[in-house]
Amino acid sequence: MSDEKVNVVWLGSPTFPNAAHDALRDGQLRRNLKHATTTIRDKRLRAVAELDDWETLRLAGSQIKDRVMRHLDEYLLRLEASVTAAGGVVHWAEDADAANRIVIELVRAKGADEVVKIKSMATQEIGLNEALAADGVTATETDLAELIVQLAGDRPSHILVPAIHRNRTEIRDIFRREMGKYGVAAPDDLTDEPRVLAEAARLHLREKFLRAKVAVSGANFACADTGTVAVVESEGNGRMCLTLPETLITVMGIEKVLPAFADLEVFLQLLPRSSTAERMNPYTSLWTGVTPGDGPQEFHLILLDNGRSATLADRQGRSALHCIRCSACLNVCPVYERTGGRSYGSVYPGPIGAVLTPQLVGVGTSKHADSLPFASTLCGACYDACPVRIDIPEMLVHLRAKVVDAHRGEKLPAPEALAMKAARVVFGSPRRLAVAERLGALGGRIAGIRGGRWLPGPAKKWTAARDVPVPPRESFRTWWRKAGRR
């Protein structure tokens, strides 16, 4: 794994099956997740059912994204021209290191030693906070959930609600313990009422908003024709960051560009109902370059590749880039609901993470990322929920094949490769198959005597969770021979 991609997957993460084992033993985590995903699932269904033409909107969303991906170079150039004409500055970053360097230079040029941040998947992906810290700049996450994660020294577990793995009591304890170390402390009488916790966050962050000189954001959409950038949020922390500081730095994955401002009419219907399951999220900010006398007078847009152009090269994997980060697929996924986001060991968890993460880092480069396409039952709920119709189940199967191909020729073949090789030998000749069948029947009799339903050796893992059907006492061939004699 190359250094510049360390934050798409977290360094040293165990493979999914190992991480999931630990997560599954955590009863509190499972209760928190079940409560949260069930709540949001039901709400989303109601929000979506209100629109009769939901399927038509999904189709339009998916087609617009398809158009963008097939002509991404053109749209990026058009976006650059529009943003520049509106008074913004566009930067291009091939990888995480390059993007972080650009941000650090811009912050230094302003003489700032702190920045306020809007929740952004792109800046998490590049490990911006850590890079800024290494350079002596403090980055404060201002989204409530991100603040909880940051104060706890924790890792996010969900795209939309990164602290979904924490319940209110845990959050109260984190606020009591940590807030005072970084600014305004939590009040002594802090309870675990969500309203009271939100109020504590408001007080803690307000002084930071009022004095911040530089803000860093991501982008939900950027319109190539007008240069307009959109940030969709709930709390108003986004508006604070986009409005009060003198300088705004937006880090945006290159796939977030939309052809036209008019396309917002589709995505502003699809995104809120799919993510927070609301008719509309509380605040959506649209800005175009710099407006004299209103908001930041310096605007920088960093266009980030970091594995995206490589992802584009796989025709069957390309549409993972259509993702608008709504997180609906996480909330409906039976695997996510039980293991939580941190088991995926990536900033992109859940079904979309299972297809996006291995592609961004490159299939075959990380044992951990390669385990993700297998973290699925292929039930298809994610495809049904996806507002831009990404066929995640099909892509998972495609990526599983790619992972297996990437590991072909390794010195120690994987157990399933050995099993398949053995199967080829056995099925290759009728005589060998007959011998195998007799052995199977014998094994069946032994198993029958012992009452066991397990397999020995490496296959033990498989039977730990499943019953092996007891092989019949005689094979079809044997039966046929006997029947023929009669």
> Within 96-155, which residues bind another protein (CB under 8 A)?
98, 102, 142-145, 148
Lay out the site mask for another protein across 376-405 (x = CB under 8 A, - = otherwise).
------------------------------
Q: How far is the CB of 77 from another protein (least distance, A)?
A: 8
75 binds another protein (CB under 8 A): yes
For 290, other C-beta atoms within 10 Å of its C-beta total: 18
| Separation CA 316–CA 391 (nearest Å) | 10
Q: 102 CB contacts (<8 Å, ≥6 apart)?
A: 91, 93, 300, 302
Q: How far is the CB of 392 from another protein (least distance, A)?
A: 21
Single out the residue of 107, 268, 352, 360 in contact with another protein (rule: CB under 8 A).
268
Pick the stretch among 94-102, 378-386, 412-420, 428-436 that binds another protein (CB under 8 A): 94-102
Output 38 or 377, the one with its CB closest to another protein.
38
Q: How far is the CB of 346 from another protein (least distance, A)?
A: 21
Bridge-based pairing of strands 283-288 and 228-233 is: antiparallel
Question: Backbone phi, then psi, for 258, in 5-degree steps?
Answer: -115, 150
Q: How many residues bind to another protein according to rule CB under 8 A?
A: 100
| Residue 347 β-bridge partners | none
Are 171 and 178 spatial neighbours (Cβ–Cβ below 8 Å)?
Answer: no
Output 66 or 474, the one with its CB closest to another protein.
66
Dihedral angle, C-alpha 331, 334, 338, 339, nearest 10 °: -80
Lay out the site mask for another protein across 176-195 (x = CB under 8 A, - = otherwise).
------------------xx
Which of 98, 74, 39 is CA-nearest to residue 302? 98
Which of 231, 212, 235, 213 is CA-nearest to residue 221? 231
Pick the stretch among 291-299, 385-393, 399-407, 437-445 that binds another protein (CB under 8 A): 291-299
Output 158 or 368, the one with its CB closest to another protein.
158
Single out the residue of 199, 246, 298, 474 in contact with another protein (rule: CB under 8 A).
199
Tell me the torsion sign for CA atoms 399, 405, 410, 416: positive
309 binds another protein (CB under 8 A): yes
Pick the stretch among 227-235, 427-435, 455-463, 467-475 that binds another protein (CB under 8 A): 227-235
Q: How far is the CB of 138 from another protein (least distance, A)?
A: 19
Output 170 or 474, the one with its CB closest to another protein.
170
Pick the stretch among 237-245, 333-341, 353-361, 394-402 that binds another protein (CB under 8 A): 237-245
Question: Backbone phi, then psi, for 255, in 5-degree steps?
Answer: -80, -5
User: For residue 202, what are its two tokens?
Assistant: 């408001």
Q: How far is the CB of 194 from another protein (least distance, A)?
A: 4
For 262, other C-beta atoms within 10 Å of its C-beta total: 11
Measure the N-to-C terminal CA separation of the chain; round to a whole number of Å. 65
Which of 11, 18, 1, 5 is CA-nearest to residue 371? 18
